[in-house]
Amino acid sequence: MNFDFTSDLRRRLGYRLIDHIDDFYTSLPQRPVQLPADERSYGPLNEAMPEDGSDPCEVLDEVSRAMVEQGFHVPAANYFGLMNPTPTYMGFLGEALVAGLNPQLATLARSQLASKIEVETVRWIGERVRWLGPFNGTFTSGGNEANFSGLALALAAKFPTAMDDGVSAIGAAPIVYASAEAHHSLDKSAGLLGIGRKALRRIALNRRLQMDPDALVRAIQEDLRAGCKPFCVVATAGTTTSGIIDDLHALADVCRRYELWLHIDGAYGGALIFSDKHRHLIDGIDRADSLTIDPHKWLAVPFAAGVILTKHPDILERAFAVYAPYMPKAAGAVLPDNSRISTQWTRRMNAMKLWLTLKVHGRKAYEEHIDRQMLLAKGFAEWVRRSEHFELAGPVMVPIVTLRIKGVTDARQRAEAHATLVEEVTSDGQRWISDSIVDRESVIRMMIISYLTEQSHLEGLQAAMVAAAERLKETART
């Protein structure tokens, strides 16, 4: 079958797809997150590659139905996180538009308006960071790539020949510091950049959730005495498990004192720049040398969309630009080619979904979205505080609540009880929460990430958690 469908078939397929997506969105407030535990399967699919094609309407219907029936639905209102959102509908449409037009963002000469829209979106974000001087950045595939880019920028800034000569030519071990709870993408990045995972020093900055910048100072001084070259601190604005925001000013002060690059991983919490009411939580974010923000988390656009920004635009080219004579040049261009400021080469247009969402809903829609989720989380935390079964495991800074079962003092038994409770709550597939570890202690974790989540969904979760806790108690008694 020819790839070149008729106009009539293209339209029929497009309308069918829109119908499937519309049914899905309509179902999300009530839709189970996944199949019940005994119906889930994790093995491979074994069909052979088709030699000949099939009817496109049938194939599209079949795969749309199967993806909905057998999928795990992070967009469902009862998905209580990790940090994966219900996409805005404009975000979905933006993705479809970009896939259809397939703009190539490697160079300005071949993308033109698409690149300009991306640059404008980066400018909007940088202006909300309140960077008054020059800045630039680029969209990435997510926080992992953005953090990788942040470390690459730090390396290129502090060791100007590192990108050409390699890290070994620095002559001493370059060291990065991050809080114990910082995201594991940093370990990956430190390994891939040749810094070495062991050179990422994780400090208990937030031990007992009290910021202790002196622990960082002590580590830096020790490394300096040992002949190492500290060059970067990574602060986190919204840690993955507990949503803790590091004291950004305190870390920025340490960076200024020791001339270190400050990268802020605001993959999730960086979205607070869109809230006038809550942005005080990330006070000091403008002091970052580089910053990660993931629109595909709190800003509710479809995967994939991360952003790396820096207020040292020249370092972007130092870190990422290589000469390729075949790349088209735009005469008189004032904007840099994207392939010269990004880890990527051929570039998808990841900015469109955020740009479209902002054009249609405006910044204030994010203000309301953030405010509503903060309020819901505070209410949930209040319920935990009053509960006879649970207690809070840490403060609630953003809409992430960590809690534990009351009355189990042995750490191993508590971790087992948490795992059993999470299993029980999630086994019918209706809703999803998780357990994790904070400060070496097991916690149950829930977050409010879907813009569809309402108080009624929280009440459903509370009922399921209480029922599971009572069953656990019953089992312990027998």
Binding site for ligand PLP (CB under 6 A): 83, 142-144, 147, 183, 185, 236, 240, 265, 267-268, 294, 306
Residue 240 CB, nearest approach to ligand PLP (Å): 4
Pull the structure tokens for residue 114: 């698409």
Residue 271 CB, nearest approach to ligand PLP (Å): 11
In terms of CB distance, is 104 or 144 closer to ligand PLP? Answer: 144
Give the CA-trace dihedral at 6, 7, 12, 16, to 10 degrees.
Answer: 100
In terms of CB distance, is 141 or 430 closer to ligand PLP? Answer: 141
CB 74 within 8 A of CB 302: no
Smallest CA-to-CA distance from 412 within 436, 442, 445 is with 442
Rounded to whole angstroms, the Cα distance separating 122 from 454 reads 31
39: buried, middle or exposed (CB in 10 Å: 19+, 13-18, 0-12)?
Answer: exposed
Q: How many CB atoms lie within 10 A of CB 54?
A: 10
Going along 145-255, which residue ranges are E strands? 174-179, 200-203, 229-236
Rounded to whole angstroms, the Cα distance separating 257 from 221 reads 12
In terms of CB distance, is 107 or 140 closer to ligand PLP? Answer: 140
CA 198 vs CA 162, 189, 212, 305: distances in Å: 19, 12, 22, 29
The per-residue b/e assignment along 320-346, b for 16 or more CB within 10 angstroms, e otherwise, is: beeeeeeeeeeeeeeebbbbbbbbbee
Rounded to 5 degrees, what are φ and ψ at 403?
A: -145, 170
Residue 394 CB, nearest approach to ligand PLP (Å): 16
Residue 238 CB, nearest approach to ligand PLP (Å): 6
In terms of CB distance, is 143 or 336 closer to ligand PLP? Answer: 143
In terms of CB distance, is 149 or 430 closer to ligand PLP? Answer: 149
Residue 436 CB, nearest approach to ligand PLP (Å): 12
Residue 310 CB, nearest approach to ligand PLP (Å): 17
Pull the structure tokens for residue 186: 């940093």
Residue 152 CB, nearest approach to ligand PLP (Å): 15
Smallest CA-to-CA distance from 146 within 312, 295, 306 is with 306
In terms of CB distance, is 265 or 435 closer to ligand PLP? Answer: 265
Calculate the CA 220 to chain-centre distance. 29
In terms of CB distance, is 111 or 185 closer to ligand PLP? Answer: 185
Given phi > 0 = left and psi -120 to 50 = alpha, else beta, which region is 273?
alpha
Residue 162 CB, nearest approach to ligand PLP (Å): 23
Residue 68 CB, nearest approach to ligand PLP (Å): 23
Smallest CA-to-CA distance from 389 within 472, 287, 280 is with 472
Residue 309 CB, nearest approach to ligand PLP (Å): 15
Calculate the CA 134 to chain-centre distance. 25
In terms of CB distance, is 265 or 286 closer to ligand PLP? Answer: 265
In terms of CB distance, is 143 or 284 closer to ligand PLP? Answer: 143
**441-447 and 290-293 as β-strands: parallel, antiparallel, unpaired?**
unpaired
In terms of CB distance, is 299 or 469 closer to ligand PLP? Answer: 299
